[in-house]
Amino acid sequence: MATAITDAHEAQEALRGLFDAYGAGRKGAGPGEAGSGRAVFFGGAGVSTASGIPDFRSEDGLYHQRFDYPPETMLSHDFYVGHPAEFFRFYREKMVAPDARPNRCHVKLAELEEAGLLGAVVTQNIDGLHQAAGSKRVLELHGSTHRNICQSCGAVYTADWVLAQGDKTPDGVPACEKCGGRVKPDVVLYGESLDERTLMASVRAIAEADLLVVGGTSLVVYPAAGLIRYFQGDKLVIVNRDPTPQDGQADVLISCDIAQAFDF
């Protein structure tokens, strides 16, 4: 098992060197040269905590807060169908973060992609902060709060539109302006399957990577956590504040704030 790096400066230098050595493929780079490989980032809720978005399982996470129903219940498909008013109240208050802004991790990943050193971001997050930071190839395993789709006619609405419906309708349940159908956030709820195309694209990206950097995820939520088993490349890096079940497999283990680790 790799010795954990806990110093932010040391973490920055380690990540800088790894992306230089295993970048997404610079033109003219030969085997073993900087930028000759493929690098992929696979992230979870911990990537966005520095942007003020709470995670689920940490001490201050949603699962340790008190609600009328457990968060796992309120974020289920059955609850969405059977208790739409309560679902959308929780969704608007806890799942949509209109004031959140990308932190240094989001920004650095976008910079690495622009420089040709990062091939893709695979994320479990639904906040859209990777795109807001400038990342272009983002595979959203659990969907996005920024897409909300009428279940009758397919019309698409923004997160701001859904937030506004809380004051415009008696029960806060958004109805399509075109056909009156119920509008559902384009996020994967408990009891629903991941989008097959997104899942397979994520599997391909990870399977083809020479460097996989896993960040801000406990690696306990399946099927997303199972994607790590498809990695057959040279270097597996785990950047997470708390231990994960996969730490023993890591070639480089970084245990410090992820926004600080990517501040290079």
Residues with catalytic roles: 142
User: What is the Cα–Cα distance from 182 to 178, expressed in whole angstroms?
Assistant: 11
What Å distances lie between residue 208 and 32, 93, 119, 184, 216, CA to CA?
16, 39, 10, 34, 22
Q: What gap in Å lies between CA 206 and CA 113, rounded to an integer?
A: 16
Element (H, E) at 168: helix 159-168
What CA–CA distance (Å, rounded) separates 13 from 115? Answer: 17
Give the type of residue at 240: N
Residue type, 70: P
Contact (Cβ atoms closer than 8 angstroms) between residue 174 and residue 150: no
Are 122 and 202 spatial neighbours (Cβ–Cβ below 8 Å)?
yes
